[in-house]
A and B are shown apart, each in its own frame.
Chain A
Amino acid sequence: MKKRLLCLYVENNVGVLAKIAGLFAGKNYNLDSLTVGPTNDITISIMTISLTSGDELFEQIKKQLNRCVEVIKVEDLTDPEAVTEDDKL
């Protein structure tokens, strides 16, 4: 089990948060925290999700998130260097 950090770029539509939260609930995944915020592009929102999981489950979670039609990109920011790089941007 390891602390993980995911960053999701999603369509800024009604119900997308429910879809992501529903995916976690429906598949019995647990998350530690979830925040949603705007980006420079008004049509895109950014979701930051932290969770604790083993490697296999984490891979499955990323794949399931990528499957959602409204998810544009899934980034794994678990590696601390990646967080720093992202912050610089």
Chain B
Amino acid sequence: MRIKGTELFIKALREENVDTLFAYPGAAVITLFDELYKQKDIRVILPRHEQALVHEADGFARSTGKVGVCLVTSGPGATNIVTGIATANYDSVPIVCFCGQVRRDLIGNDAFQEVDIVGITRGITKHSMMVTDRNQLGRAIKEAFYIASTGKPGPVVVDLPVDMINEMGDGQYPKDVQIRSYRPNKAAHIGQIKRAAALLREAEKPLLLAGGGIHVSGSEAEFTQLAEQTRIPVISTVMGKGSIPTSHPLYIGNLGMHGCFAANRAVMECDALCSIGSRFNDRITGRVDQFAPKAKIIHIDIDTASISRNVKVDIPIVADALHAIIELINYTGEHNTADWRKEIEAWQREYPLKAAKSKGFSSARIIELMNRTFTECIVVTDVGQHQMWTAQYLELNEKKKLLTSGGLGTMGYGFPAAIGAKLGNPKKRVICIAGDGGIQMNIQELATAVLEEIPIIILIFNNCYLGMVRQWQQLMYDRRYAGTNLRSGNYGRNKPEQYIPDFVKLAESYNAVGLRVFNENELITAFEAAQKEEKRPVVIECVIDSEEIVLPMVKAGCSLNEMILGDEL
């Protein structure tokens, strides 16, 4: 049967079980919107900016494991999604972005709203393609979903010229897909697993490093089982936090730039390090040639190109984390790590994670209050100091998840991603934590959240600065706060007491709830009020100390042994 391309598009989304579509219209996709208007199976979310649109799809995908689906128009619609695509790419999030494109006969003519979006996104997608043949549309969509969601997940861009999508053609949507050049491998090489198990068995100071790949493959339970069976202590990256409950006796903490003292010391002292689903990013390794100097390294990753790229490893294992962990469980037994754990516990006592000396309302106290108040939730952060405080102090377990832009570090990510997470998990409490800088990068989404009746809590940590950069300026640039003071400008000089914008009034203007708190008691009351809201987002502005910094800190390019702990400041 021959049908219009637009009809096949809807059919394809249905076949892929897409129930939520993040879409913004324009001339090149107006016929697709017309088709969406006629159906009721797919909920179409209309954000207020395409950048937020991709982050919403990203938050939806990360929190559900399903593919996040975007539809935007050509030209500026397409270029606005670039940052969100890169964000999803670096954190391995499955999203499919459909972009409208000008008519095929106009491509290359600098037509109105024409950009080469496939070219622009080539380096930041898992795959990108333009569909020029209407009869290949079904196959292209099928491949896009397949590529995005298998292997190391990632974003796929599908460019759809408007005359192609309006053409009649093949009405079939393929049932399965075969791509000769793309055959993702999941299973682990058993010989390598045996070697890894032997190395861990012989080690006196073994250490497990949990990366984001454990969440991507959904192997948190198996990973916890592996740690418990072997009695090997666990450290995590920011993305891997929560792979094992943070209250677990074997869990030490995060490593890296803002990792805890004991975790960084453990890396420097361990004699076998088994990394699962981490790519040894510079933010966790510090100075690479001094990273884990005494250790033999086992590296489990689904991406061959991640292995021995940043850190040279002894036993590479290319596999899906879940498969590799199950095999490791089969080949390992109980290890005697009691002495090693005592050594680590001594470091934990020596320098526990504690809130830096702060004059006012401390961020650590806010997050500890969150830990006590919410027993089941998805926390989504933006990027900056608040993100690192959250990564340090937030308790995570089977009922509490953290979503954050770890790889690209995209300011403006948190709020829209929280909207996406709530849409994917309507019964779960979703809390966004953002700074006063990052929240303003996508604050317009208050309209989306209010109109779609999305009751999330948005905590704004307001320190009147772009705090993380200010922290670097304080520690390394002699307190020259260039471009980081969000009160600067002539107006701010005359009225220094007034922060622009007034977040409470701003929230109220959107018909959201706006609250401002200065201390813990006020925050307790605000949380009580927020939990009663069933349909409206609640903005809680926490006015915190301007000069609080994230500690400990390893300066970029320094060894993990060179931690700034705060005593010297």
Interface residues of A (CB under 8 A from B): 10-11, 13-15, 18-19, 22-23, 26, 56, 59-60, 63-64, 66-72
A65 (CB) vs chain B CBs: closest residue: B305
Evaluate whether A67 and B181 lie within 8 angstroms (CB atoms) in the complex, with A18-B122, A19-B122 already known.
no
Interface pair B123/A14, CB less than 8 Å apart:
no
In whole angstroms, what is the CA distance A14 to B118 when docked?
11
A73 (CB) vs chain B CBs: closest residue: B181
Interface pair A69/B179, CB less than 8 Å apart:
yes
Interface pair B123/A22, CB less than 8 Å apart:
yes
Q: Is the interface of A mostly helix, strand, loop or mixed?
A: helix
B112 located at the interface, meaning its Cβ lies under 8 Å from any Cβ of chain A in the complex: no
Interface pair B122/A11, CB less than 8 Å apart:
no
Chain B residues with Cβ below 8 Å from A70 are 181
CB A64 to nearest CB in B, in angstroms, measures: 5
In whole angstroms, what is the CA distance A69 to B150 when docked?
12
CB A11 to nearest CB in B, in angstroms, measures: 6
B119 located at the interface, meaning its Cβ lies under 8 Å from any Cβ of chain A in the complex: yes
Interface pair A26/B147, CB less than 8 Å apart:
no
Interface residues of B (CB under 8 A from A): 118-119, 122-123, 126-127, 129-130, 132, 147, 179-182, 303-305, 307-309
Interface pair B127/A67, CB less than 8 Å apart:
no
In whole angstroms, what is the CA distance A60 to B306 when docked?
9
Evaluate whether A69 and B181 lie within 8 angstroms (CB atoms) in the complex, with A63-B304, A63-B305, A64-B305 already known.
yes
B143 (CB) vs chain A CBs: closest residue: A69
Evaluate whether A15 and B305 lie within 8 angstroms (CB atoms) in the complex, with A69-B127, A72-B181 already known.
no
Chain B residues with Cβ below 8 Å from A60 are 305, 309
In whole angstroms, what is the CA distance A19 to B118 when docked?
10
In whole angstroms, what is the CA distance A60 to B182 when docked?
18
B125 (CB) vs chain A CBs: closest residue: A69
B304 (CB) vs chain A CBs: closest residue: A63
CB B36 to nearest CB in A, in angstroms, measures: 28
B118 (CB) vs chain A CBs: closest residue: A15
Evaluate whether A18 and B119 lie within 8 angstroms (CB atoms) in the complex, with A66-B304, A69-B126, A69-B181 already known.
yes
In whole angstroms, what is the CA distance A66 to B181 when docked?
9
Interface pair A15/B182, CB less than 8 Å apart:
no
10 extra A-B contacts, CB within 8 A, seeds A22-B123, A60-B305, A64-B305: A15-B118, A15-B130, A18-B119, A22-B122, A23-B123, A67-B305, A69-B126, A69-B147, A69-B182, A72-B180
Instruction: Pick the contact of B119: A10, A15, A64 (CB < 8 A).
Output: A15
CB B560 to nearest CB in A, in angstroms, measures: 23
CB A40 to nearest CB in B, in angstroms, measures: 16
Interface pair B122/A14, CB less than 8 Å apart:
no
CB A42 to nearest CB in B, in angstroms, measures: 14
In whole angstroms, what is the CA distance A14 to B136 when docked?
14
CB A44 to nearest CB in B, in angstroms, measures: 9
* Max chain A C-beta neighbours (<10 A), residue from B147, B305, B309: B305
Interface pair B123/A59, CB less than 8 Å apart:
no
Evaluate whether A15 and B181 lie within 8 angstroms (CB atoms) in the complex, with A59-B308, A60-B309, A64-B305 already known.
no
The 9 closest A-B pairs by CB, nearest first: A63-B305, A72-B181, A69-B127, A26-B123, A63-B304, A69-B182, A64-B305, A22-B122, A67-B305
In whole angstroms, what is the CA distance A59 to B308 when docked?
9
